[in-house]
Amino acid sequence: MSKRFKQNIIRFILSLSIFIFTVFLTPNFNIANIYILFISAFFVILLDYLVSTITGIHDYPLGRGVVGFFSCIVILYSTQFFISGYYISIISSIVAALIYSSVDYVLDNTKME
């Protein structure tokens, strides 16, 4: 199993965990059912991968930090416009992005062999 594949699996599980955590604890973050939860987690990972591949923001330490945080807010918030049954306020997307970016930064700095 390649390192990149392992990272994507972990990011998918991470996204699911963040969504479950923030849906229950954050007001104005609603997901209609479990299927929408899985679809939105996959969509967020896909958008994050595309943004980081096109812009290269994850190649620099600042990209994984501040720029990654703000791009995560935009990705989480914009997901609601593509997936019906998913709603998130801007405040909730900031909370979710803070959690996601923090854990993502830790994952990128750990060795996955």
* C-alpha gyration radius of the chain: 13
pLDDT at 90: 92
Distance CA(101)–CA(109), nearest Å, equals 12
Q: CA–CA separation, 9 vs 19, rounded Å? A: 15
31-40: per-residue pLDDT in tens? 888 888 888 8
Paired sense of beta strands 29-31 and 86-88, if any:
antiparallel
29 bridge partner residues:
88
CA dihedral 17, 23, 28, 31 (to 10 degrees): 100
51-78 pLDDT, tens digit per residue, is 777 877 666 666 566 777 888 888 889 9
pTM (2 d.p.)? 0.72
